[in-house]
């Protein structure tokens, strides 16, 4: 499994405008094709837990995550409990607005059970990760549309 998957988009808005959308985690289902629900347990900040519900076609599963980086107008990252991946958004000001990068990092690999689930029920690693990158691009496109309107 690659250590990093990444997608980037430029948005014609200030980092503050983009941040107001990205940091509202309850809105994640509006943007992510895989997220049905993302519920922070308390105020969104470093250390906050979230309870999530995800889908892939007819498959639905719960997850939990913990915010590991929270830098207003700059960066937000959360570590998934079940597979140890870290999902992040980084915002960089540009002359025309903000460049947003979404990443999925796997710094310590995933557990054997997660790998088995990917191989047996999610179409295998290559297919699963291609779908993740496609979903990242879709997510960023929807965030861009929401912020720019």
Sheet of 97-105, strand order: 4-11, 97-105, 86-94, 75-80, 59-71, 49-56, 35-40
pLDDT digits 0-9 by tens, 106-144: 877 666 777 777 667 767 677 778 888 899 999 999 999
The CA-based diameter of the chain, rounded to the nearest angstrom, is: 46
Q: What is the pTM of this model?
A: 0.89
CATH of residue 99: 3.30.530.20
Whole-angstrom distance, CA of residue 37 vs CA of residue 27? 8
Model confidence band, residue 21 (pLDDT cutoffs 50, 70, 90): very high
Burial class (CB in 10 A: 0-12, 13-18, 19+), 120: exposed
Number of H-type helices and E-type strands within the chain: 4, 7
What angle separates helix 125-148 from helix 112-121, to the nearest 10 degrees?
90
Give per-residue pLDDT as tens, 27-53: 999 999 999 999 999 999 999 999 999
Reference 98, options 21, 41, 4; nearest CA is 21
Provide the number of structural domains found in the chain.
1
The tokens for 112 are 């054997």
Domain extent, residue 77, equals 4-148
Mind listing the pLDDT tens digit for each residue in 51-99?
Answer: 999 998 888 999 999 999 999 999 999 999 988 899 999 999 999 999 9
8 A C-beta contact, residue 143 and residue 32 = no
């Amino acid at each position: 499994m690659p250590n990093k998957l990444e997608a980037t988009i430029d948005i014609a808005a200030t980092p503050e405008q983009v941040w107001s959308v990205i940091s509202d985690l309850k809105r994640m289902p509006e943007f992510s094709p895989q997220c049905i629900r993302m519920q922070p347990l308390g105020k969104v900040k470093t250390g906050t837990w979230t309870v999530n519900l995800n889908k892939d076609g007819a498959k639905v599963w719960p997850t939990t995550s913990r915010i590991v980086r929270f830098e207003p107008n700059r960066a937000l990252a959360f570590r998934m409990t079940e597979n140890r991946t870290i999902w992040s958004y980084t915002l960089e000001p540009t002359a025309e607005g903000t460049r947003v990068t979404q990443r999925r990092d796997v710094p310590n690999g995933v557990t054997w059970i997660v790998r088995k689930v990917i191989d047996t029920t999610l179409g295998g690693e290559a297919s699963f990760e291609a779908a993740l990158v496609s979903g990242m691009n879709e997510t960023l496109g929807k965030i861009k549309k929401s912020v720019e309107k």
